[in-house]
Structure 1
Amino acid sequence: MHGKYTLLSFDDFMKEFVPSPSNRQSARVVKKSSRTNIFSKLETAENEEQMYNSIPKVLNKGNLCPNFTFVATPGKVDKSDPTRQSVDLGMYPSTLAPKRPSDGSHARIDWSSVDIPIECKDHPTNEDPFDDRAPDAEPIAASRKAALGQILSYAELVFKYQQRTRLFMVDFLGDFVRLIHIDHGGLYVTRKFNYKKEGEKVAEFFWRYSRMTPAQRGHDPTAVRIRHDSHLGREMKRMAQPPEDIDERDYIRASFEKSLDCNWPWWCLDVPVVKDEGTPKEKRFTRKFLVGKPHFQAPGVEGSFVYLKDAWRVDREGIEREGSILQALNGAKIKYVPTLVCDGDIPGQATISHDLWKAYHPKDQECPLKLHQHYRLVVKEVGKPLDQFENAAELVLALGCCIDAHKAAYKAGIIHRDISAGNILLWYNAGVGWQGMLNDWELSKHVPADDAASGGRQPDRTGTWQFMSALALNDRTRAIIVPDELESLFHVLLYYAIRFLPHNCPDAVVGKFLHLYFDDFTDGDGQFNCGQMKYFAMKTGEIDLALLRGKAKEDKAKKDVIKHPVQALRFYKPGTLEEHPIQRIISTLLQWFSAYYALENARIQNGQPDSTDAGKSSSEPKKVAPVTKARSAWIEEEDSDDEGSSTVAGHSTHLPTSMTPAEGSQLPSTPSHGDAENVLTHAAMIKLFKHALSVAKDWPDNDKSADKRPKKGYKPPEDPVSSTSMHITQLIKTTSTSRKRKNKNPPKTPKKRSKA
């Protein structure tokens, strides 16, 4: 991403990031040890394999770094890493250094232990991730961008496997080298220099680095690694054992058991407990939590299971901690949101890239980097991903609960601003059953407290690309309002329906559908805008499958021809051509949003700011989804229509004629002002969901199929935009959280819910 990295001289890099030992004895030693060119006699390598052997040998023989060992690990992947990546070399604590096999092959990379990843390239120009001739060394050539993407992906893996506040990397390029510093705010890199001629610089860097404290090297002192065979490790295994009386809530324990991956590091994490901002430091205290593999549940040492989130939040005036938002929601007794246990900023752990940027960019007016603060949050409820819904009725119920939560929060003056598939959970409410929960309030804000005319507090778009409204994607200055949030809920509904329910889009092109509707973008004037398929669905009120047409292909296994769709998307009950009740919800919402978009476009112009899968026979008996206690309870909840609407005056919220059973699902051809008004507040959408769920006989029990999304994802044709900028966006913004947040770059379809 342009402006996210800064080019420094070697001296400036060392001054800012690698302090010299302070005592005199160390100072005398540095002159003898590190001010020596240990590479002066090293012959220029003819290929990378020679570099794998010669560079670690020279560094280890130089005895610069006691207690550390340099190891070559090219091509030997970490067994726990699904990305199957391996950096060429690594600097490790000697006690954790990977061993070279007896057959003479290279050692295996260990992402959980490597202190400094080191990359080797035999070509000093084409494979250089940076360009000293360009502003801030920003790469232009495709080969350079690919090399930068590789470097950033390695850094992302280290942040993923370790509890790190920052990371150093070294990139050897033929006879040249670069030193790199990355934190959760930005990247700083040295100018390329010849280590054959100036090897004392490399020696000094490693010498100083090895004498820095773990915290100075980037290791989080509030995280203690737990040996799997230690007392705490055995206690974690005991807690993961299934009880004799397993019930629906056992998914929590089972998730924790799954997180105890023996190929992954386990940790004891400190969470500062702050009752309020005015609490004196001497009265603040810390709680400790045991965690296994990230993205799963964490138990407290007292024995109860809770959910711990580890994040680097944007620290800016006016942005509240997520815990403060939850505290306000809990205080207002809002249902279907997490219950705060404790939260706090980790003392002394904030990014420094933001503070340094101005010193090295004196001519630039605005710093593109943001200050990030390490933050941990613990909540009481442990949910499971929404893709584990039992049937479509449960999916609609879960989303209905979240609309309720959003409505109540908005009434209390808080708007979520990041409705997405990963931020909605299934949660088992004892005595009631499975319900939905609106999670991840870190991007929320107080509605009255912010100046909506300013377009928000931050200069970038806020949210998760795939689920943001088309209007928000086309206008990064747009303040997120209720219609945007309700549209995001619609996109979540569609996302899971197209993946798991029967419809007329062939399985073979579902991956392409996901790309075109959720991931795709148009390259506008200086920014990325909404993809065409989503935009025209919102504008026309119909999801046209024409963009999925292609040459018919023969399926030899089924002796059939796969026909590409030419009509609008439709959902059916399993094994029939009978309309699925979720189709009526989708058609109705599309009608409402189409009407809203017509009015919005008019306001802007006026200057104011074939059935291939559905007809297949099925041997499964046709069952009706049971009306669960949770479903009945939500339908019967009283719903107050006291929301203030609205920019469209003179029209009352109403249900469309399409929801009248006698009239089926035919929709009016012309959008009305009343249709548009239905998405200005939550009331109509809640009534729509409740009305649909109340007709119990309509909902089949066996409508969820295997996931139609390609297991290896969908790779679109040659992407005109390099993915390098996306790599650095993910690295800087989401190495400790998930997949988000501020999108200036083309996105990727989320594969799994991902939270630390």
Structure 2
Amino acid sequence: MYDRIPKALNQSNLCPDYKFVATPGKMDPADPTRQSVDLGMYPTSLAPKRPSNGSHARIDWSNVDIPIECKDAPTDEDPFDDNTPDATPIAEKRKGALGQILSYAELVFRYQQRAHLFIVDFLGDFVRLVRIDHGGLYVTQKFNYKQQGEKVAEFFYRYSRMSAAQRGHDPSAERIPHASPLGLLMKRMAERPENVDERDYIRAAFDASLDAKWPWWCLDVHVLEKEGMAEERRSVRKFLVGKPHFQAPGVAGRATRGYVALPLTDEGVVGGSFVYLKDAWRVDRQGIEREGAVLQELNSLGIKYVPTLVCHGDIPGQVTKSQDLWKTYHPKEEECPLKRHQHYRLVVEEVGKPLDQFKDGVELVLALACCIDAHQAAHKAGIIHRDISAGNILLWYDAEEGWQGMLNDWELSKRLPADEAAPGGRQPDRTGTWQFMSAHALNDRFRAIIVPDELESFFHVLLFFAIRYLPHNCPDSAVGKFLHLYFDDFTDGVGQFNCGQMKYFAMRTRQIDLALLAGGRDKAKAEIKAVEPLRFHMPGSSEEHPIQRIITTILGWLAAYYALDAIQKGGQDSANNAKSSATRKTAEVTRARSAWTKRHDKESADVAPGSSTRPITPTAPGERSKSQPPTPPYADAEKIMTHDAIIALFTHELKQEDWPEEDKGMDKRPKKGYQPPKDPVADDSKLTTQLMETSGGSKRKRKTDPNPSTPKKKRSRT
């Protein structure tokens, strides 16, 4: 098939400007996944050449127009099943074949600027034609191409005569040859000046994006403008970009990509300093605002620690079509499960860097404090973020105040109703980042996100980075398992996935139990009982780290808040009551820390970690006390219902002088992710011993990860 199919198609002259090339087993050097599709249709001038030794050519994901897969078995390896609803595969081999098709689609979307694409799948004497966009896919029934060859011939004939936009290419993106004048201009702008300052990380990021193996682009942003009562008109602004700084995995969904970008004028010269460009397929549904419109309002209100809008706009004519065809085949269904996505671009002034590049524990806490402050200000303006996660909190350098936090990615934000706790969502499912969503939200997909959920998410982000980089009593070898159980894990609920046990128990019991890491088998039960909860300590000492005070206090507030669940359900609550030498001197306090504490000094005057203010009556979340004071553990629940207490807590702790220097160690998250042990019993016994032997701490010298990365965003599908 590798030889006969390309030969037949090339000799037929059906597609005079295209060439069919066999590329089985020959990987694209730019692709770290090392995948290759069997055949490909390419523009003739861009078709990969076959080596002189007679071997097959290499796949080129940045230029292939149609990936073509070949299988011997017409049934076992068919990605679809015509006998099931929506042709959904059930057999494992079929599922694997569908996964392969989707991985090819993901690579085409990754390396090209595409709105949709076609894939041809040959299955023995049969074939299927597939169309994929970010809303979904549809596929022909399987037919015998030896008996009905005119169908395949007509498809390729028509496809080769369509415009680039009709074939799925994005006309608002122009590819920039690396050696062209614009390509050379990009290289010159990436050169570092002699006087390097704190902000040079932006130029370094742009330089890193100029990957010689990756395509570079000039992207258009279509800016909507209104002039009085006149009709809307669009202006176009251009930006030069290299390899994406961030690229969301998968095919379906928003397919977000982020770039460090250079503005380009109509005259072909640089029109300003570096900016950040976000390219996404936003959900186009009534009631969902464009992210740029939200930022524009936040900017007009003078809210700090949020990005500053430069421009934004939809790309004309680029909307997913899969959801429309679904309605044709399901006329009796009222709600289509496929979402309409509109291609959209947004540009902001600030180019941040990932939060995992924080210098030390105090800078991590300060960055989170800044973002909680921004969240509070936006909430007062009637907007709630709804996607607090590790990837949406950035570090940004301010010339006057130094490094601070920035709350990014407002695309899932929502206007608050008159009654904030009112039910009802704008989408038929829950969207957010699973690892950082509150336990309440994970256990109730219809829950309207409110302030306590968001503040809990900030806590999860703090824990996520602290467990990876700061000293604590959890063995380094167990951190991968901890991250899996606390952030990624789930329980199988009724008709949906629910919160994992480790996170849920932490919210209920006000402590993070490391015993769950050892599995709790009979052989180890006695030893596991002696293991203390997670504790953060000073480098090289068993003395408590300042971040532990923050974690302990917030956990207490969250446990009090979750204790209200039983009251709301009319039941009984089951939760029960329950100086280092390396300290930072006053003279070494950073400008950013000083600016923050001065601005919030009054709020933190009477706050002490773990203390309670006046007791409150347990009521529904968001409501104030109306009756007699309750008994613990409810007294602190009110503190997690608004931003005031947590901002006061962070401010109080940032003013303390016992923050250690160089407390950030190497990333303890396994580079290849958490791998379940082959012998779980032996692993649990060994891990229990490690847990009991590391209640103190070991001194870690601060090292810098030369290639830090942000966690992949994992969206909830429940």
Q: Using the TM superposition, give the Cα deviation of residue 551 of structure 1 relative to its aligned residue in structure 2, in angstroms.
A: 11
Match of 2:431 among 447, 450, 462: 462
For residues 671 and 582 of structure 1, the distance between their equivalents in structure 2, rounded to whole angstroms, comes to 24
Does residue 473 (structure 1) correspond to residue 442 (structure 2)? The answer is: yes
Distance 1:601 1:640, change over 3 A: farther
Match of 1:300 among 263, 270, 273: 263
Structure 2 residue aligned with 1:34: none
Moved more, 321-330 or 84-93: 84-93
Structure 2 residue aligned with 1:427: 396
Does residue 347 (structure 1) correspond to residue 312 (structure 2)? The answer is: no
For residues 301 and 547 of structure 2, the distance between their equivalents in structure 1, rounded to whole angstroms, comes to 32
Does residue 743 (structure 1) correspond to residue 716 (structure 2)? The answer is: yes
Match of 1:187 among 131, 137, 148: 137
| Structural mapping, 1:605-624, within 5 Å | 605=570, 622=582, 624=584
Contact 2:19–2:47 (CA under 8 A) maintained in structure 1: yes
| Structural mapping, 1:315-354, within 5 Å | 315-354=284-323
Deviations along 1:604-628, whole A, 9 cap, x unmatched? Answer: 3469xxxxxxxxxx9xx83537310
Distance 1:444 1:276, change over 3 A: farther
Contact 1:242–1:253 (CA under 8 A) maintained in structure 2: yes
Match of 2:569 among 604, 609, 622: 604
| Structural mapping, 1:510-589, within 5 Å | 510-549=479-518, 566-589=531-554
Distance 1:317 1:278, change over 3 A: farther
Q: Which runs of 5+ in 2 are unaligned?
A: 246-258, 265-270, 522-527, 573-579, 614-630, 679-709
Does residue 627 (structure 1) correspond to residue 577 (structure 2)? The answer is: no
Deviations along 1:301-341, whole A, 9 cap, x unmatched? Answer: 21311000001001111111001000110011000000000
Does residue 176 (structure 1) correspond to residue 126 (structure 2)? The answer is: yes
Moved more, 66-75 or 462-471: 66-75
Moved more, 146-155 or 425-434: 146-155
Q: How many residues align?
A: 636
Amino acid aligned to 2:52: S
Distance 1:565 1:102, change over 3 A: farther
Amino acid aligned to 2:645: A
Amino acid aligned to 2:646: M
Alignment partner of 2:53: what SS? coil
Deviations along 1:671-699, whole A, 9 cap, x unmatched? Answer: 53331111000111111111111112x11
For residues 161 and 277 of structure 1, the distance between their equivalents in structure 2, rounded to whole angstroms, comes to 38
For residues 529 and 16 of structure 2, the distance between their equivalents in structure 1, rounded to whole angstroms, comes to 64
Structure 1 residue aligned with 2:254: none
Alignment partner of 2:310: what SS? strand
Alignment partner of 2:454: what SS? helix
Structure 1 residue aligned with 2:15: 65
Q: Using the TM superposition, give the Cα deviation of residue 738 of structure 1 relative to its aligned residue in structure 2, in angstroms.
A: 11
For residues 564 and 714 of structure 1, the distance between their equivalents in structure 2, rounded to whole angstroms, comes to 25
Contact 2:480–2:673 (CA under 8 A) maintained in structure 1: yes
Contact 1:505–1:565 (CA under 8 A) maintained in structure 2: no
Contact 1:656–1:675 (CA under 8 A) maintained in structure 2: no
Contact 2:225–2:235 (CA under 8 A) maintained in structure 1: no
| Structural mapping, 1:639-678, within 5 Å | 655-657=608-610, 671-678=632-639
Q: Using the TM superposition, give the Cα deviation of residue 379 of structure 1 relative to its aligned residue in structure 2, in angstroms.
A: 0.3
Distance 1:568 1:164, change over 3 A: same
Contact 1:215–1:221 (CA under 8 A) maintained in structure 2: yes
Deviations along 1:275-304, whole A, 9 cap, x unmatched? Answer: 459885674311100011012411112131
For residues 565 and 422 of structure 1, the distance between their equivalents in structure 2, rounded to whole angstroms, comes to 36
Amino acid aligned to 2:369: G
For residues 260 and 23 of structure 2, the distance between their equivalents in structure 1, rounded to whole angstroms, comes to 32
Structure 2 residue aligned with 1:3: none
Q: Using the TM superposition, give the Cα deviation of residue 75 of structure 1 relative to its aligned residue in structure 2, in angstroms.
A: 2.0
Alignment partner of 1:592: what SS? helix
Q: Using the TM superposition, give the Cα deviation of residue 145 of structure 1 relative to its aligned residue in structure 2, in angstroms.
A: 1.4
Q: Using the TM superposition, give the Cα deviation of residue 565 of structure 1 relative to its aligned residue in structure 2, in angstroms.
A: 9.3
Match of 1:713 among 673, 677, 687: 673
Structure 2 residue aligned with 1:25: none
Structure 2 residue aligned with 1:685: 646
Distance 1:211 1:739, change over 3 A: farther
TM-score w.r.t. length of structure 1: 0.80
What is the percent sequence identity of the aligned residues? Answer: 72
Q: Using the TM superposition, give the Cα deviation of residue 61 of structure 1 relative to its aligned residue in structure 2, in angstroms.
A: 2.0
Contact 1:126–1:143 (CA under 8 A) maintained in structure 2: yes
Distance 1:248 1:83, change over 3 A: same
Structure 2 residue aligned with 1:212: 162
For residues 347 and 181 of structure 1, the distance between their equivalents in structure 2, rounded to whole angstroms, comes to 21
Amino acid aligned to 2:424: G
Contact 1:623–1:702 (CA under 8 A) maintained in structure 2: no
Moved more, 434-443 or 103-112: 103-112
Match of 2:108 among 158, 161, 173: 158
Contact 1:543–1:569 (CA under 8 A) maintained in structure 2: yes
For residues 279 and 298 of structure 1, the distance between their equivalents in structure 2, rounded to whole angstroms, comes to 34
User: Bigger relative contact order, structure 1 or 2, given CA contacts below 8 A and separation 6+?
Assistant: 1
Deviations along 1:351-394, whole A, 9 cap, x unmatched? Answer: 11122221111132211111111100000111000000000100
Alignment partner of 2:640: what SS? coil
Distance 1:357 1:449, change over 3 A: farther
Contact 2:226–2:232 (CA under 8 A) maintained in structure 1: no
Moved more, 100-109 or 262-271: 100-109
Structure 2 residue aligned with 1:610: none
Q: Using the TM superposition, give the Cα deviation of residue 639 of structure 1 relative to its aligned residue in structure 2, in angstroms.
A: 7.2
Amino acid aligned to 2:550: I
Contact 1:425–1:436 (CA under 8 A) maintained in structure 2: yes
Distance 1:421 1:209, change over 3 A: same
